[in-house]
Amino acid sequence: MSRSPSPDREPLREFLSGDARELGPLLLGAVLSHDSREGRVSVRLTEVEAYLGPEDSLHPDPGSHTYRGPTPRNAPMFGPAGHLYVYFTYGMHHCTNIVCGPEGVASALLLRAGEIVEGAELARHRRPTSKNPADLASGPARLAKALGLTTAYSGRDALVPPFGLTLPDRPATQVSSGPRVGVSGAGGSEDYAWRFWLSGDPTVSRYKAAKPRPARQHLR
DNA sequence: CACGCGATTTGCT
DNA sequence: GCAAATCGCGTGT
């Protein structure tokens, strides 16, 4: 019997078991793939946003879905790193997270934008309203749509087929950071500059990208 | 059990 | 520049 070679994913999973705020910049440039019956779409991540759980009392995160503890919906965020947390919002949109932190700790990165590097045709089919290729995944709900992700995939392991995650050869050097988008209250303030994006990348979501500032300016 | 709102996108003004 | 579309979840009665 031929045994299909399966890559050792545990080093990557352990890497992802770190703090989402530190992993955010390091995941920029990583490629997430999803194979479906329709074909394969791969996205190179250009914008992510960190969310924490109730464990971190130093940084209460009322903007996080896990702020009030585990629920059936947010359960994957408390699970092992490298899994997906997909949620439904505004009655019509899906958004995708990659779970970070050790099991039991609700840390995750919301995938806010990316560049389609494989399966652009299928991505266009899933997002017919997008005319510009750079807009295929320039927003969290757009990215989820382009990858064909719904809540049905929440909790699935992003490191195992039909998914796949590959880190960039080298960490990105030109990274910007800023306040999170759509989060009200303290969690959205300047003190929580947990949104990271590749500086000047055309696929970064338009919403607040107009006023980019170097990550440096946020370090006191 | 009823109510209010959101980690958004799109299209029209 | 702004409002509509639409429903699961958390909160409060």
User: pLDDT digit string (tens) for A108-163?
Assistant: 999 999 999 999 999 999 999 998 999 999 999 999 999 999 999 999 999 999 99
- Which nucleotide lies closest to A89 by the C1' atom and the CA atom? B6
The three-state secondary structure class of A61 is coil
Chain A residues 12-71, Cβ below 7 A from strand C: 65, 68, 71
- Nearest nucleotide (C1') to the CA of residue A138? B9
Residue A57 confidence (pLDDT)? 83
pLDDT tens-digit profile of A30-74? 999 999 999 999 999 999 999 999 888 888 888 899 998 999 999
Residue A212 clears pLDDT 50, i.e. is over it: no
Mean pLDDT of the residues in chain A: 88
**Contact predicate A157/A187, CB 8 Å:** no
What's the Å distance between residue A105 CA and nucleotide C10 C1'?
Answer: 21
Rounded, the Å distance between the CA of A206 and C1' of B10 is: 13
How far apart, in whole angstroms, are the C-alpha atoms of residue A27 and residue A146?
Answer: 19
**Residue A184, CA distances (Å) to A91, A168, A176, A192, A210 in order:** 19, 32, 21, 11, 19
Verify if strand C has an atom below 7 Å from the CB of A210: no
Give the separation between CA A139 and CA A135, rounded to whole angstroms: 8
pLDDT top residue among A60 and A209: A60
Q: Is the CB of A211 under 7 A from strand C?
A: no
**Closest nucleotide C1' to the C-alpha of A92:** C6
Q: Give the dihedral sign, CA A176/A177/A178/A183.
A: positive
Alpha helices by DSSP H, A150-212: 206-209
Bridge partners (DSSP) of residue A114 are: A45
Query: Where on strand B do bases come within 7 A of a protein Cβ?
Result: 6-11
